[in-house]
Amino acid sequence: MNLLSLPQRLGASYVMIIGTAGTVAVLISVLAMGVGFARTVAGAGRADRVIIVSAGAVNEATSSISREEVTRIVTAPGIKRDASGAPIADAGLMVQFQVSRKSNHKPVSVALRGTGKSLVTLRPEIQIFEGRRFRPGLHEIIVGRTAQAQYQGLEVGSHVAFAGGDWSVVGIFRSVGTSSLDSGAMADAETLMTAYHHNWFNSVTALLDGPAALDQLKGALAADVALHVEAQRESEYLASESRGLNAVLKFIGYFVGGMMAVGAVFSALNTMYGAVSSRSVEIATLRAVGFGAGAVVISVLAEALMLAIVGAIIGSLLAWLLFDGHVASLGAGGGGTQIAFALAVTPGLVALGIIWAFVVGSIGGLLPAFRAARMPVAKVLMSVAR
C-alpha cells in the first residue's frame, strides 16, 4: 500500500532521493581521490625493492647521502647482484622543474628523478613507448606519460629550461600499472648533480637478494658506525608517504558528507512526516482492521529506506560516471611536486555510500514511523466521518 500511494507524493519523494543522491555522490567522489592517490603512490613500490634514506629524514626529498655513504651502502650484504657481480642499486637525486598545465596554463613543479646505470634492471616496470632512453652525461630527460599528458612542452623533441641550460625530452615512459613515477621525469643522476651543484644524493634504491635480505641489510647498515641511514621496503615506504594525505581526504569526505547527510536527514524527515500526514486515514484504517503498531512502524521505515537506497544507487552511479578514472593532481610529492592520479570509485566506496544512505533513511524515517504508530485511530476516523 505504501508503494501504491507513492505516485501521490512524488514531489516530496524526489526531494529525499535527490538529497540522498547528492550526499552519497559527494562522499564517494572525495574518498575516490584518496583511493586513487594511494593506489598511484603505492603502485611505484615493490616488496623486493628497498629504499634507503638518511636517518630522521621526513621524506626522500629531505634526505642527504654522501658519495662515500653510497659506496658503503651498495656493498652491504642483502643487496642483489647481477651476473657480473655488480650490486643492482642506484643512488637517486630528487629535484624539480617548472612547467605549465595544459588545462589552465598555471605553473606547477614536476619531480625530476636522477637515476643511474641500474635503471633497467632495478625498475623493469618502466617502459619507453616513444623515443629513447636518456644518455649519461648529456642534458636529456625522459618524461612519464601522465606528466606529458597533463603539462605543456614535454613532447619528444621539446626543450625544457632549468639548471644548466636547456634539457631535451628524448623519450616518454610508462609504468606497468599505476605509478607516481609517471607524473615526473628522469635523467642521469651524475649529470643532474653537476647541473644543480650538488655533492650528495637523496636516496639509494636497491633490489633485495631474498625474503630475509631486508633484515640482513638493516643489520649491516646499523652495524656500520659511519652510516646514519634507514632502510625500508619500497612498498611500505610509499604506503606511509600516502597515508597522511589520504587521512586528510578522508576527513574532508566524511566532514562534507556528514554536513550534507544532516540536510538529507531533514529532507527525509519532511518527506516521511508529509507521507504519514497524507496517509493518516489509510494508516488508521489499517490499524482498525487489525494491523499492529509494529507493522505500521516497519511500513513507514521501509518506505524511507527504499527512497534512501534509490538515492544511494543514483548517487553512486553519478560518482562512477563523472569521476571514476578522472585524472587529478595534487602537490603531494617531495618539495610540493605534483602527483597526477586517476580517481577510483571502488565497490567498497559504493557499499559505504549505501550504508551512509541507510543511516540517513533510518534516522529520517524512524520518528515519522513512531508518530504513525501512535496515531489515535478513533479520532482520525471520526474526523473523516464528520
Phi, psi of 221 (to 5 degrees): -70, -40
Last residue of a domain, one of 227, 255, 289: 227
Same domain, 91 and 194: yes
Number of domains in the chain: 2
Cite the DSSP H helix spans in 44-184. Answer: 67-74, 119-122, 145-150
Residue with cell 505500521: 296
Same domain, 70 and 201: yes
Same domain, 156 and 100: yes
Last residue of a domain, one of 227, 251, 275: 227
| Structural domain containing residue 303 | 2-42+240-385
Same domain, 269 and 336: yes
Same domain, 297 and 355: yes
Contact 116, 90 (CB under 8 A): yes
Cell readout for 58 is: 621526513
Q: Does residue 190 lie within any of the structural domains? A: yes
**Pairing state between β 159-162 and 165-175:** antiparallel
10-residue stretch averages of pLDDT, the chain, 386 residues long: 64 79 88 82 79 87 90 91 90 89 85 89 90 92 91 91 86 85 90 89 91 89 90 84 77 81 75 63 63 71 83 92 82 64 88 88 74 59 52
The three-class DSSP label of residue 229 is: strand
The three-class DSSP label of residue 18 is: helix
Q: Does residue 48 lie within any of the structural domains? A: no
CA distance 233 to 336: 23
Neighbours of 98 (CB within 10 A): 12
∠ at Cα 179 (177, 181), nearest 5°?
Answer: 135
pTM exceeding 0.95: no
Contact 283, 368 (CB under 8 A): no
Q: Does residue 233 lie within any of the structural domains? A: no
Last residue of a domain, one of 203, 227, 251: 227
**Pairing state between β 140-144 and 165-175:** parallel
Same domain, 198 and 264: no
CA distance 305 to 310: 9
Among the listed residues 353, 326, 351, 246, the one whose alpha carbon sits nearest the alpha carbon of residue 26 = 353
Q: Does residue 234 lie within any of the structural domains? A: no
Residue with cell 606511509: 240
Same domain, 72 and 210: yes
DSSP letter at 164 equals T
The three-class DSSP label of residue 214 is: helix
Measure CA of the first residue to CA of the last residue in the chain; give whole Å: 25
Among the listed residues 72, 40, 82, 9, the one whose alpha carbon sits nearest the alpha carbon of residue 245 = 40
Same domain, 207 and 65: yes
